[in-house]
Chain A
Amino acid sequence: MDILTVDQLTKKYGGLTAVDRASFSVHEGEVFGFLGPNGAGKTTTINLLTGLARATSGSARISGFDGVKEIKKAQRIMGIIPDESNLYDEFDGFENLCFCASLYGMRKDDREKKAKELLQQFGLSEAGKKKFGAYSKGMKRKLTIAAGIIHDPEILFLDEPTTGIDVASARQIRLLIQNLNQKGTTIFLTTHYIEEAERLCNRIAFIVGGKIARIGHLDELMSEVQRENVVQLAFSDGVSNLKPSLEESFPDVAVEVLSNQALRLRSFRPLNLTPLMRFFEQRNLPVYEARIMRPSLEEVFVKITGIELEKMKQEKEGKGKQ
């Protein structure tokens, strides 16, 4: 069942089309990843879905509510975690959580109980008494996530949750996201970290220039670029001269010599390893390792969008430091 359905959603700012006829759906209980470079339209899409921006055209339904006319009803079941922590520096962690809970109409006793629980769950019990302004970036992000889930939302929008924070905090946040999802919360996640998307998401949408380039399960996306079967073989020594004889014996196989100890074999047909092993045995070249190579999500992304990931990462890291 879909918790979010987006149909031809478009947002124009003057002559610039930030989101261009985006259509997709998010299934209940899944982690849906939105992957794209800076300025691709990820945050604008979140803003459109959560009521911070108005669509030029198109529609969205969130848990059955119209994304425009019933946005206030829809906001009751949403949790929103922006790309920058936006809690109140003057409040301590506990007060911030209680205030956020009050925005959802939670009574004093309930919000205080929930705030304490969350501080404990997020490892912030001690920091709960400290002013938010004195928190580290990782602690700020964790408290912002806690604030986003204090009212037990059905769907959680996470905008770049691990950008610009230390490795340990990022790891903790990824675990928290997985735990939340296991408890049944649907997650809509934007990220530029390909490995994060690969690790956390059930389905992924690539967005470039405001347009959805591709949507699918990880396996589907990968199979799309995996047209060749690739095997990498490791030897102790002496394989650099084998290319001509190998290609002569196996005409369907393209051979790439990686070093004197490693070969990569490619074929559009399934690679039968038995004759290959025999070939090497006859030449007294035992194979120490045979690894089936699958394309990474990174390769899939680059192939589909034509965008270099390193450049995308650097852009984002630069933004995070500002």
Chain B
Amino acid sequence: MKSWIAFWNILIKDMRNYYLKPPNISWGLVFPVAWTLMFFLKSETAVNVRELLPGVMSLSILFGTTSMLAVTMTFERRSRSFERLLLAPIDLNLLMLAKTSGAILFGMINAFVPVFFASFLTSLSGIRWLSALGAIFLIAVTSTLLGLFIAVSVKEIFEAQTFSNFFRFPMIFLCGLFIPVQGLPLFLQPLSYILPLTYGADILKSSINQNGHLGLPFNFVILLFFATGLFVLSIRNVRRKWIY
């Protein structure tokens, strides 16, 4: 019970101090709008908003969570306020769960910004919301843990930003969001399948447009595997690098 008081307060502190700040809220709004507009402007034919939705949602989560967690953790490490959390009598697993929960929630909220805009432009009927929600959650979890992996590997905030882009931009093209995995050159296809976003995007495609190709159960199992693996790896990294 006492640990959960700490968990809840760390989560609220992060939401207040970082995630619900006006610049971050505006980022969450501007980013998906910019992506959608980009496709409208670049496309020579009429753009199907619903076709774009899984991709824009995935990217909103990916960019929101990885940036936020990597930057906030690096910031707290630099200001040494993270030490305060490490020195508190809270199990490290629970502490990291609290730290990542804020970013996961932020990512999930970000995912609904394009859905909100899309609702004015197209019909959203027939979407399987339960599986979509599962995908949103698991994409948020894996992307957040990727952010944590980045945070553990860098010392400065600018490094966190640069290093996150090193992961994120290739993902846009490799995860079948806008170019189907089957349409990628053969030598790049194995790379797609080692990225968790490929499976999350596939669930969203199945849930929104019924055009995923890997099957929902398979995608969920793989994503859960990635989420667990990344969490264990991140905790190990934190223990090894931050409790030195």
Q: Would you give the 0/1 interface string for A238-262, flagging 1 where the beta carbon is closer than 8 Å to chain B?
A: 0000000000000000000000000
State whether the Cβ of A50 lies closer than 8 Å to any Cβ in chain B. Answer: yes
Q: Would you give the 0/1 interface string for B1-38, flagging 1 where the beta carbon is closer than 8 Å to chain A?
A: 11101101110010011000000000000000000000
Question: Which among B79, B87, B90 has the highest number of chain A CB atoms within 10 Å?
Answer: B87
A104 to B6, CA, bound (A): 7
User: Which of A53, A87, A107 contacts B5 (CB under 8 A)?
Assistant: A107
Cβ B13 vs Cβ A84 within 8 A = no
Q: How large is the interface on A (under 10, 10 to 19, 20 to 34, 35 or more residues)?
A: 20 to 34
User: Given that A53-B244, A99-B9, A102-B6 are contacting pairs, would A88 and B17 also be in contact in the complex, using a CB cutoff of 8 Å?
Assistant: yes
State whether the Cβ of B89 lies closer than 8 Å to any Cβ in chain A. Answer: yes
Chain B residues with CB under 8 A of A72: 89-91
The minimal Cβ–Cβ distance linking A137 to chain B, given in whole angstroms, is: 15
Q: B21: nearest residue on chain A (CB-CB)?
A: A90
Q: Would you give the 0/1 interface string for A93-110, flagging 1 where the beta carbon is closer than 8 Å to chain B?
A: 000000110111111000
User: Given that A73-B89, A102-B6, A105-B6 are contacting pairs, would A51 and B243 also be in contact in the complex, using a CB cutoff of 8 Å?
Assistant: yes
The minimal Cβ–Cβ distance linking A46 to chain B, given in whole angstroms, is: 10
Cβ A52 vs Cβ B9 within 8 A = no
Cβ A103 vs Cβ B90 within 8 A = yes
State whether the Cβ of A75 lies closer than 8 Å to any Cβ in chain B. Answer: yes
Chain B residues with CB under 8 A of A13: 244
State whether the Cβ of A136 lies closer than 8 Å to any Cβ in chain B. Answer: no
State whether the Cβ of A179 lies closer than 8 Å to any Cβ in chain B. Answer: no
The minimal Cβ–Cβ distance linking A158 to chain B, given in whole angstroms, is: 14
Q: A100: nearest residue on chain B (CB-CB)?
A: B84
Interface residues of B in 72-103 (CB under 8 A from A): 79-81, 83-91
User: Given that A72-B91, A99-B13 are contacting pairs, would A86 and B2 also be in contact in the complex, using a CB cutoff of 8 Å?
Assistant: no
Cβ A86 vs Cβ B83 within 8 A = yes
Cβ B84 vs Cβ A103 within 8 A = yes
User: Given that A52-B86, A86-B79 are contacting pairs, would A105 and B2 also be in contact in the complex, using a CB cutoff of 8 Å?
Assistant: yes
Q: Pick 29 A–B contacts, CB within 8 A, sort by A.
A: A51-B87, A52-B83, A52-B87, A52-B243, A53-B243, A54-B244, A72-B91, A73-B89, A75-B88, A76-B89, A82-B80, A82-B83, A86-B81, A86-B83, A87-B84, A88-B17, A89-B79, A90-B17, A102-B5, A102-B9, A103-B9, A103-B84, A103-B85, A104-B2, A104-B89, A105-B1, A105-B2, A105-B3, A147-B84
List 3 tightest A-B contacts by C-beta distance, closest first: A105-B2, A102-B9, A103-B88
B interface, CB within 8 angstroms of A: 1-3, 5-6, 8-10, 13, 16-17, 79-81, 83-91, 243-244
